[in-house]
Amino acid sequence: MINQGHSNSLYSLSIQIHLDGLSFFTQHIHSKDIKDAEVVRFRENVNPTTLLVEIEKAFKEIEALAQPFSKVIVVYANELFTLVPQALFDSEKAADYLKFNTKILSTDYIAHDTIDFYDLINVYVPYSNINNFFFDTFGSFEYYHSTTIFAKHLLKEYSNNEEAQVLINLQGSYFEMGVVKNKKLLFINRFEIRAKEDFIYYLLFTLEQLELNPENTPVTLTGTIEKDDEFYSIAHTYIRHLIIKDSPSTSFTRSQSLLATLL
């Protein structure tokens, strides 16, 4: 593969990576028009090591990825993250924060994003082998955790709401859930699911813990969810005010809605 580095290309690449697939879009850096947008599902979930094989395969086989880009943004969607109040954050203790919530290896590289408005630091594990691939291919690039993008999107969409607002981004094998009220982030987390029962359990349990009534708390759904699927049906059984939110651009499928907030 050609090392594309930072070129005079007029296009940028934004790509989200998960162990069951990836999605991306390319965008003109001046007009902001979308050139290509695609979702790639792997045949089965992979591990961080074999993920690299799938990424390399995608960049070899997908024509839209086989071009130089002036800017590259990588978003990691995994469960290896935790939020820490900015006032308490110490970069030397980053691994210690993660140990409370998830299993990490001594060889894992720990990164962090700043969520300024909420005065939070998102501490997480990006996949080092994937970072190395993007560095070798493009040179410098930006990367974030998906919950960082999700939290900033919550602020943008619901910062003026005095009542609690719930946003769920369903992505097949997992979903992200955030709750904001009066410009405060009450909750944000990511849940792995295998069936609709897992989905509704985590949703209702979270509402209960936050003392939010499903009868009058609006819940907005985005991602891989439609009104005729089983996830919407079971949610509608328990949630009175249920809203499906379209992607911010017609160039994207709803499953790319979170990635599209990078526009």
Q: How many whole angstroms separate alpha carbon 77 and alpha carbon 176?
A: 10
The whole domain housing 202 covers 154-260
Give the model confidence (pLDDT) of 100-118 as tens digits: 888 888 889 999 999 988 8
The pTM for the full model equals 0.90
- The last residue of one of the domains, among 95, 112, 140, is 140
pLDDT of residue 114: 96
CATH code at 161?
3.30.420.260
Q: Are 200 and 235 in contact (CB under 8 A)?
A: yes
Asked if residue 2 belongs to a domain, the reply is: no
Strands of 184-192's sheet, edge to edge? 184-192, 174-181, 165-170, 219-223, 242-244
Based on the fold, state whether residues 109 and 217 are members of the same structural domain: no
Give pLDDT, residue 3.
43
pLDDT for 257 equals: 63
Number of domains in the chain: 3
Query: Quick one: pLDDT at residue 72?
Result: 96
What whole-number distance in Å separates Cα of residue 214 and Cα of residue 218?
A: 8
Residues 212 and 256 in one domain: yes
pLDDT of residue 125: 96
Rg, Å, the chain Cα set = 19
In the chain, which stretches have pLDDT less than 70? 1-7, 247-263
Q: What is the pLDDT of residue 2?
A: 39
Whether residue 4 lies inside any domain: the answer is: no
pLDDT per position as a tens digit, 189-239: 999 999 999 999 999 999 999 999 999 999 999 888 888 999 999 999 999
Task: Answer yes or no: do 16 and 135 share one domain.
Answer: yes
